[in-house]
Structure 1
Amino acid sequence: MKRILVPTDFSSHAESALKIAAQIAKKSNSEIFLLHMIEVPSQMNDAITGATGIPETMLFIQKAKETLQKTKEKEFLKDIQITEQLNFERAHEGILSFSIKNKIDLIVMGSHGVSGIEEILIGSNTEKVVRLSDAPVLVIKKNTTELKAENFVFASDFSKETKKPFKKMLEFATLFDAKLHLTMICTPNSFKTTALSEKIISDFIADFDLKNYTTHIYNDVNIEKGIINFSNKIDADLIGLCTHGRTGMAHFFTGSISEDLVNHAAKPVITFKI
């Protein structure tokens, strides 16, 4: 993990994400890319890129550049290589295209937490990035100043298709020397016997050299509540799960579990695309 992207709208939520990104960057000797998106009507592009421009628009752009520079110079970013970028594009589209173009290893974004996700980078934009990003996405809750991952819940159906993202998750967990809690949620609509669930998990982890981990089977009314309730039960620091990169998630993640968790979980959530 060498290239971390932090989209910012200069809010307190974005700053929380930036502080966590700084923590990760120092652990992994990574570079941070600080990205601010300005959404402007297409007819104004000439005014922005041309020799002359609308005074109000140009003033707004200059202010954004100055704020980016001030953000880059914050004390907690000292000794970290920072590359700032101001782009003119719809927020989630710009974040995703920037991530691909710059071969980003991790995207760190802020959220409001259990009250729901709003504002320019929050809400539908965060959900779309979580759903569509090829790079892992770490969503940080408001006022989080340090990421602890001593107890890391990874919720999955432990199917073969999750093995590749599971490897990425292990790399992240190793960075924090985390204890992994490998968890299968059983619901009335996706019931499996304990014996079958244990066998599925056992067969899955047989391909990996795992040391600091536990396995769990947790029953609840639906998957989202199961993940949240289990995470609260063990006082987890971080929740990890896989996404299929589409609105409907097959197998274990029916519906939009990752997006719901990003909205409703009080814990930080990291997603890995299948």
Structure 2
Amino acid sequence: MKKILVPIDFSEHSTYATEVAADMAKTYDAEIIFLHMLGLSEAIFTRDESQSFLEAQFYMKLAKKRFKEFLDKPFLKNIKTSQTVQNYKVFEEVNAVAKENNADLIVMGSHGSDGLSEIFVGSNTEKVVRTSEVPVLVIKRPSPDFKAERVVLGLDFQIETMPAYHKAERFFASMKAEVHLVHVNLPGIKFMSTKEIQSKIDMFLGVAHHNGLPRNMQIAQISSYSVEEGMYNHAKNIDADLISVITHGRKGLAHFFKGSIGEALANHTELPVMTFKHNAAP
């Protein structure tokens, strides 16, 4: 891991994400790239003689000043950092910044959301999780001395998710993490017998690992009323440091009706959540 992108709004939750990114940067001797999004109207930047243009210049200078104050933290000492202020308004554009800078990971804080505000507005974190081709680590609370020694990775063991699975496997191997692959069995039409699930797992492992399993991995089959609930409860039972999931990044109506496990976990789980997007380049 060489570069970590941290989108910030100078809030308390941005500080949580920054501290975790700093811990990881020290471990991997990585650079942290901080991104702040202004979200100003494009018209402000095109009318050079207008009061609006002066206003835009003011906000740019203010952002740079706030950067200086925000980055004056003891835990960032001796870490290579860089900053960028972009006039982005859409959080899907964080993915473009990550790719342009060859970032290996995005770390961001999240306030989460509940109820109607989530249905109608969503959250900035959810938008990044849904669109990012780079793994996203979501931090919800202070996590000093962040570690990921024990990870729960939710899997449906579908062959088409293999590239994203291998990306997660390599990532956690580099962290020397103990990984628990968890399949959540749901009631109703999605219910499968233990034998059926095991057959599915065996087929997946036959392709992924030639019927073997890396020493740092183990598999659990659990039953629950939702995948999110099952993963969270299992994470609590084994005292996991991190929950991870492969997200399909649905958009439009499909996203509205089917949702995303990654987004739900990122919004509602207090544990750190890391997502790997299905269809992202391995």
Q: Which residue number corresponds to residue 229 of structure 2? A: 225
Corresponding residue of 1:162:
161
Q: TM-score, normalised by structure 2?
A: 0.85
Q: Structure 1: any 5+ residue segments left out of the alignment?
A: none
Given that 2:17 and 2:109 are in contact with CA atoms closer than 8 Å, whether structure 1 keeps it comes out as yes
1-structure distance, mates of 2:274, 2:108: 10
Please give the alpha-carbon distance, in whole angstroms, between the structure 1 residues aligned to 2:10 and 2:80. 19
**Separation of aligned partners in 2, 1:35 and 1:220:** 38
Aligned to 2:28: 28
Give the corresponding residue for 2:273. 269
Name the counterpart of 1:179.
178
SS for the counterpart of 2:4 is strand
Match of 2:205 in 1: 205
Q: Which runs of structure 1 show a deviation greater than 6 angstroms over 4 or more consecutive aligned residues?
A: none
Q: Distance in 1 between matches of 2:90 and 2:51?
A: 22
Please state how far the C-alpha of 1:264 moved relative to its aligned partner.
Answer: 1.0
1:3 paired with 2:7, answer: no
Distance 1:228 1:243 in 2: 16
| Contact 1:21/1:32, CA 8 A, preserved across alignment | yes
Moved more, 74-83 or 234-243: 74-83
- Report the Cα distance in structure 2 between the residues aligned to 1:228 and 1:93, rounded to whole angstroms: 27
Whether the aligned pair in 1 keeps the contact of 2:245 and 2:262 (CA below 8 Å) is yes
What residue is the counterpart of 1:125 in the other structure?
124
Moved more, 197-206 or 210-219: 197-206
Is the 1:158–1:204 contact (alpha carbons within 8 Å) kept by the matching residues of 2? yes
Q: Distance in 2 between matches of 1:2 and 1:68?
A: 22
Report the Cα distance in structure 1 between the residues aligned to 2:34 and 2:131, rounded to whole angstroms. Answer: 20
- CA shift, 1:52, in A, is 6.9
Give 1:56 deviation, angstroms.
4.6
How big is each residue's C-alpha offset from its partner over 1:224-251, in whole Å with a ceiling of 9 and x where there is no partner? 21111221222211011111221447xx
**Separation in structure 1 between the aligned mates of residue 249 and residue 100 of structure 2, nearest angstrom:** 18
C-alpha separation in 1, matches of 2:273 and 2:145:
14
| Distance in 2 separating the partners of 1:255 and 1:52 | 44
Give the whole-Å Cα distance in 1 for the aligned partners of 2:42 and 2:250.
27
Matches of 2:39 and 2:194 in 1, distance apart? 50
Residue 143 (structure 1) aligns with: 142
Q: Distance in 2 between matches of 1:168 and 1:26?
A: 22
State the 1:161 CA deviation: 1.7
Structure 1 counterpart of 2:28, one-letter code = S
Give, in whole Å, the separation in 1 of the partners of 2:3 and 2:51: 34
SS in 1 for 2:133: coil
Contact 1:38–1:91 (Cα < 8 Å) also in 2: no
Call closer, same or farther: CA 1:148–1:115 in 2, change over 3 Å. Answer: farther
- Superposed displacement of residue 115, structure 1: 6.6
Please give the secondary structure, in 2, of the residue aligned with 1:100.
helix
Q: What SS does the aligned partner of 2:266 have?
A: helix
Structure 2: distance between partners of 1:42 and 1:107: 26
Letter paired with 1:34: F
Output the CA distance in 2 between the equivalents of 1:152 and 1:173.
Answer: 8
Instruction: Quote the Cα distance in structure 1 between the aligned partners of 2:233 and 2:66.
Output: 40
Structure 2, unmatched stretches of 5+, are none
Using the TM superposition, give the Cα deviation of residue 53 of structure 1 relative to its aligned residue in structure 2, in angstroms: 5.1
Contact 2:35 2:83 in 1 (8 A): yes
Alpha-carbon deviation of 1:213? 2.0
The one-letter code matched in structure 2 to 1:60 is: Y
Q: Please say if residues 92 and 132 of structure 2, whose CA atoms lie closer than 8 Å, have aligned partners that are also in contact.
A: no
Return closer, same or farther for 1:114/1:231 CA change in 2, 3 Å cut-off.
farther
Deviation at 1:35, TM superposition (A): 0.5
Q: What's the secondary structure of 2:218's corresponding residue?
A: strand
Report the 3-state secondary structure (helix = DSSP H, G, I; strand = E; otherwise coil) of the residue aligned with 1:147: coil
